[in-house]
Structure 1
């Protein structure tokens, strides 16, 4: 493969259009039913207790954490979604990535 070909995206345009239409339809479905779309954190200081999952761990060094702090990519949004429900947010949904 030549160096000039590496800039091209891996997604095929028709597939990207189909995916966008599917995502829009899912959002419309929930919006029509009064379900709130939310976005929960994708990283956390705590990880899951499931022994079959091995979350990705990284170290953040920055404002407020000059010595660094360990963070984990979330394997599921379940914990944060349940916190929103318990806080009285009503019906919620999200379309997100997970990192098992």
Structure 2
């Protein structure tokens, strides 16, 4: 829940999980990227509610996913990329849904859907 601390065991397990994810993608020569968390614009999906913050009297949106920025990197020629980051949504709230959560997003250029499904399962 928000405002509660994770157990040390949970922190260690998460760290090991992130290491495995990074090792998997690095072995496939996929570059880890970091994209902005704040944006002046929101998502176009009508079913996702954005969390907004005020910064210097201007309203900014916290990313609901790194998708837009990552697709811009791919379009600019970044090649295969992945990112583990925080995302924010002003949606359901409870034991299974939090406004802040971790997300893994990746893009692999040149893989057809069968190869991508096989890679995802591995």
Alpha-carbon distance in structure 1 between the residues aligned to 2:84 and 2:31: 12
* Structure 2 counterparts to residues 59-98 of structure 1, below 5 A: 59-61=54-56, 68-98=57-87
CA distance in structure 1 between the partners assigned to 2:53 and 2:5 by the alignment? 26
Give runs of ≥4 in structure 1 deviating > 3 Å: none
For residues 26-70 of structure 1, what are the alpha-carbon distances to aligned partners after superposition, in whole Å with 9 as ceiling and x for unaligned? 001101110000011111000011111111112211xxxxxx322
User: How many residues align structurally?
Assistant: 86
- Secondary structure at the residue paired with 2:50? coil
TM-score (norm 1): 0.80
Greater C-alpha Rg: 1
Which structure has the higher relative contact order (CA within 8 Å, separation 6+)? 1
Q: In structure 1, what is the equivalent of residue 26 of structure 2?
A: 31
Q: How does 1:12-51 map to 2 (within 5 A)?
A: 12-51=7-46
SS of equivalent to 1:72: strand
Q: Secondary structure at the match of 2:85?
A: coil
Return the alpha-carbon distance in structure 1 between the equivalents of residues 33 and 17 of structure 2: 18
Report what 1:5 is aligned to: none
| Separation in 2, partners of 1:23, 1:36 | 15
State the match for 2:92 in structure 1: none
